[in-house]
């Protein structure tokens, strides 16, 4: 399936994207089953968001020509937590779907943390706090070159502890980079526990507003319709501001043992549990 | 005539920006008279990032990925050490995979901000920047070299760090030429037995000591090392080959690691270092496989030991 498979009516599109998300979740768990080194919990929280971004005609991409000049730039700043992007990119045709079986295996190009040797990845991942600044530079460069493309950047909420994120937020707001779209996966948990107990980010929406951004809060980041509405609002906004989609999500979504643990980030899912989840029709 | 490296470099950069519209200048709120000219003439290709060096590097990365040739400008200790990890991740590592052209310009080499104290003294940069694969480090001694470096760096793909003295000086020799940059060094005096390999301001200091050394019967070879970590080794060897003693003189720390420790104990001649080669590994594989690829494989270690036994 590809974006061309999207049904014509809005309701059917939403249902189609929800179904696609289920497939991505299954594939992500299968990857984790044979590559337990992957950070699965933070990958499970962004599945609906990335599915909507890539399949929902939000971002323009060219699977056969990943660095096509007319592509929207998609920067993945929370690299560890984007293993779910592997099945999406493979499904769209960035690389063969068979490669999904090779994650973390010797000779593969698909590692535990994605790097731009993977078609579809723009920048280095694995060190947090860099993506927003790089995306800001890309967005400013695109504007300087009078190019219309957007720069999307996916951030984790724990990553927002990094000071460099706010250097970039300040700069992007000041320069009114209206084609810069940040997406924050607010799954509420960092490595050692809940973000509210480590460094409380709230009120996050107000923080971004104060930095000159237009925020949109998605109350349920696993609800496709809400995500679609959020992107629609931000992409059609005429405000001369950078945009931020703050999506409240559940870390480890679909896997009960992860959903309930404050330490989900460092937890794996045993093969037997994955088998059970998959045999029950997939993790919802 | 006295001048600063900063001024001669920026003057040449302004000329190049007039010729080519793919050059942008980013400054972490650090100025110069020529910067004022540039920001007046090119308001859409000069950006003040504010006092935010980490973001300076990240923005430079974004521009470079979009095909711009980027010059990022700030005070030397801050553009190297405040944002070292941004340089490592987004420039050194990423430039191994994606074409990028970024020149970092740091003003305030060594102790050139003398009365400003240790926050502004920049004595670690040569070593730490040289540890980064894919980064070429230049340490000029004269303002006559700076405009040549502007051309050289704008034309050279990859990541470069230029370390500029903050103070105006007279040239240590006649106006420099591009040949220096081709070899990465110049010979200011040819001598016998002893060589002084100097870089930056220490070239001036060593040059000023030549008369005193001559009185004592010593006429050393004096080398001005500009391409600090990438000078032509063979060319350098042809100059140094017959020297009995070589003195490296730099206004900077040397690496404080085990190699330095062992060298300090007088083991330089007997020391063979087996270490990771300067290259980032993207290959997915075991630790042993990564060791094989980066020069730390068991067989290589064995061969090196037995080959030197």
Q: Distance between CA atoms of A123 and A208, rounded to whole angstroms?
A: 24
Q: Are B135 and B160 in contact (CB under 8 A)?
A: yes
C-alpha torsion sign, points B192, B197, B200, B205: negative
Per DSSP, the residues of A124-140 read: --SSTT-HHHHHHHHHH
Question: Is B283 an 8 Å CB contact of chain A?
Answer: yes
Among the partner residues A124, A133, A139, nearest to B55 by beta-carbon distance: A133
Q: Distance between CA atoms of A191 and A144, rounded to whole angstroms?
A: 38
Q: Are B92 and B159 in contact (CB under 8 A)?
A: yes
In a domain? residue A120: yes
Q: Distance between CA atoms of B267 and B261, rounded to whole angstroms?
A: 9
Q: Distance between CA atoms of A185 and A49, rounded to whole angstroms?
A: 8
Q: Distance between CA atoms of B254 and B283, rounded to whole angstroms?
A: 32
The residue written with tokens 């994606």 in the block is B98
The residue written with tokens 């870089």 in the block is B199
In a domain? residue A2: no
In a domain? residue A149: yes
- Taking only the tens place, the pLDDT of each residue in A56-87 is 999 999 999 999 999 999 999 998 889 999 99
What is the distance in angstroms between the CA of the first residue and the CA of the last residue of chain B? 55
pLDDT of residue B14: 98
pLDDT of residue A214: 98
Q: Which residues pair with B247 in a beta bridge?
A: B196
pLDDT of residue A173: 98
Question: Is A163 an 8 Å CB contact of chain B?
Answer: yes
The minimum CA-CA distance between A61 and chain B, rounded to whole Å, is: 16
CATH number, span B5-164: 3.40.50.970
Percentage of residues in chain B having pLDDT higher than 90: 75
CA torsion, points A37, A253, A92, A98, in degrees to nearest 10?
40
In chain A, which stretches have pLDDT less than 50?
1-2
Question: Is B52 an 8 Å CB contact of chain A?
Answer: yes
Q: Distance between CA atoms of B191 and B220, rounded to whole angstroms?
A: 4
In a domain? residue A101: yes
pLDDT of residue A283: 60
DSSP structure class, residue B227 = B
Q: Are B201 and B109 in contact (CB under 8 A)?
A: yes
Residues of chain B with CATH 3.40.50.920: 178-306
Which residues, 6 or more positions from A114, have their beta carbon under 8 angstroms from its beta carbon? A76, A79, A82, A83, A85, A86, A121, A125
Pair of tokens at residue B120: 């502004």
> Where is B302: in which H helix or E strand?
helix B298-307
ipTM rounded to 2 decimals: 0.96
pLDDT of B176 over the 90 cut: no
The strand pair at B158-164 and B101-107 is best described as parallel
In a domain? residue A95: yes
Judged by DSSP in three states, A84 sits in coil
> Mutate which of A121, A130, A133 to disrupt the B interface (most B C-beta within 10 Å)?
A133
pLDDT of residue B259: 81
pLDDT of residue B294: 87
Residues of chain B with CATH 3.40.50.970: 5-164
Residues 58 through 87 of chain B touching chain A, CB cutoff 8 Å = 58-63, 65-68, 85-86
Q: Distance between CA atoms of A243 and A155, rounded to whole angstroms?
A: 13
Residue A69's domain comprises 10-280
- Taking only the tens place, the pLDDT of each residue in B187-233 is 999 998 899 999 999 999 999 999 999 999 999 999 999 999 999 99
Q: Are B59 and A169 in contact (CB under 8 A)?
A: no
User: Which residues of chain A make contact with B286, given a CB cutoff of 8 A?
Assistant: 106
pLDDT, mean of residues B239-244 = 89
- Taking only the tens place, the pLDDT of each residue in B24-63 is 999 999 999 999 999 999 999 999 999 999 999 999 999 9
What fold characterizes domain B178-306? Rossmann fold (3.40.50)
Sheet holding B245-249, edge to edge: B185-189, B221-225, B194-198, B245-249
The number of beta carbons lying within 10 Å of the beta carbon of residue A107 is: 9
Residue A73: which CATH number?
Answer: 3.40.50.970
User: Which residues of chain B make contact with A107, given a CB cutoff of 8 A?
Assistant: 283-285
Q: Which residue has better confidence, B235 or B279?
A: B235
Among the partner residues A115, A133, A142, nearest to B66 by beta-carbon distance: A142
Pair of tokens at residue B124: 């670690």
The minimum CA-CA distance between B187 and chain A, rounded to whole Å, is: 41
pLDDT of residue A282: 59
Which residues, 6 or more positions from A173, have their beta carbon under 8 angstroms from its beta carbon? A211, A212, A213, A241, A242
Q: Are A214 and A275 in contact (CB under 8 A)?
A: no
Please tell me the least confidently modeled range out of A205-209, A211-215, B178-182, B249-253. B178-182
Distance (Å) of CA A33 to CA A175, A271, B174: 45, 5, 68
Q: Which residues pair with B102 in a beta bridge?
A: B70, B159
In a domain? residue A3: no
Question: Is B25 an 8 Å CB contact of chain A?
Answer: no
The strand pair at B158-164 and A193-194 is best described as unpaired
Pair of tokens at residue A251: 């870390």
Distance (Å) of CA B259 to CA A80, B245, B275: 35, 19, 10
Instruction: Give the pLDDT band (50/70/90) at residue B306.
Output: confident
Total of domains in chain A: 1
Average pLDDT, chain B: 93
Q: Do B59 and A142 touch (CB under 8 A)?
A: no
């Amino acid at each position: 399936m590809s974006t061309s498979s999207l049904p014509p009516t809005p309701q059917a599109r939403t249902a189609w994207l929800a179904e696609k998300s289920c497939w991505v979740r299954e594939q992500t768990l299968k990857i984790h089953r044979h590559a337990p080194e992957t950070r699965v919990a933070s990958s499970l929280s962004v599945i609906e968001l990335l599915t909507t971004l890539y399949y929902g005609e939000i971002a323009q991409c060219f699977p056969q020509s990943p660095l096509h000049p007319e592509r929207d730039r998609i920067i993945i700043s929370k690299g560890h937590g984007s293993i779910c992007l592997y099945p999406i990119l493979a499904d769209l045709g960035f690389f063969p779907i068979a490669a999904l079986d090779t994650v973390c295996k010797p000779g593969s190009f698909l590692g535990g943390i994605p790097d731009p040797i993977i078609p579809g990845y723009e920048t280095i991942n694995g060190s947090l706090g860099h993506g927003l600044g790089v995306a800001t530079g890309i967005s400013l460069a695109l504007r300087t070159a009078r190019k219309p493309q957007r720069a999307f950047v996916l951030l984790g909420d724990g990553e927002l502890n990094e000071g460099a994120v706010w250097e970039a937020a300040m700069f992007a707001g000041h320069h009114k980079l209206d084609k810069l779209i940040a997406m924050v996966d607010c799954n509420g948990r960092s490595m050692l526990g809940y973000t509210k107990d480590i460094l409380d980010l709230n009120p996050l929406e107000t923080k971004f507003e104060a930095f000159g951004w237009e925020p949109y809060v998605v109350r349920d980041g696993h609800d496709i319709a809400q995500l679609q509405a959020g992107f629609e609002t931000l992409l059609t906004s005429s405000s001369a501001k950078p945009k931020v989609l703050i999506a409240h999500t559940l870390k480890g979504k679909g896997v009960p043992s992860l959903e309930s643990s404050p330490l989900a980030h460092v937890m794996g899912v045993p093969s037997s549990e994955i088998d059970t989840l998959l045999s029950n029709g997939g993790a919802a | 005539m006295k001048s600063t490296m900063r001024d001669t470099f920026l003057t040449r950069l302004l000329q190049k920006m007039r010729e080519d519209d793919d050059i942008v200048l980013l400054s972490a709120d650090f100025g110069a008279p020529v910067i004022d000219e540039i920001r007046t003439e090119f308001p859409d290709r000069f950006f003040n990032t504010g006092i935010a060096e980490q973001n300076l590097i990240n923005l430079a990365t974004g521009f470079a990925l979009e095909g711009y040739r980027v010059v990022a400008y700030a005070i030397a200790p801050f553009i190297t050490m405040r944002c070292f990890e941004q340089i490592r991740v987004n420039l050194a590592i990423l430039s191994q995979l994606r074409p990028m052209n970024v020149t970092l310009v740091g003003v305030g080499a060594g102790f050139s901000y003398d009365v400003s104290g240790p926050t502004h003294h920049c004595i670690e940069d040569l070593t730490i920047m040289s540890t980064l694969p894919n980064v070429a480090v230049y340490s000029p001694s004269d303002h006559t070299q700076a405009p040549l470096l502007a051309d050289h760096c704008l034309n050279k793909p990859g990541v470069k760090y230029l370390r500029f003295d903050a103070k105006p000086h007279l040239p240590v020799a006649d106006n420099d030429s591009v040949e220096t940059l081709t070899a990465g060094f110049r010979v200011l005096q040819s001598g016998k037995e002893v060589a002084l390999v100097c870089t930056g301001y220490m070239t001036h200091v060593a040059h000023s000591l030549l008369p005193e050394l001559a009185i004592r019967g010593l006429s050393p070879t004096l080398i001005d090392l500009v391409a600090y970590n990438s000078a032509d080794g063979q060319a350098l060897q042809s100059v140094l080959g017959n020297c009995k003693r070589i003195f490296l003189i730099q206004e900077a720390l040397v690496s404080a690691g085990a190699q330095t420790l062992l060298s300090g104990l007088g083991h330089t001649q007997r020391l063979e270092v087996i270490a990771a080669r300067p290259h980032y590994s993207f290959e997915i594989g075991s630790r042993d496989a990564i060791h094989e690829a980066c020069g730390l494989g068991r067989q290589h270690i064995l061969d090196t030991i037995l080959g030197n036994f």
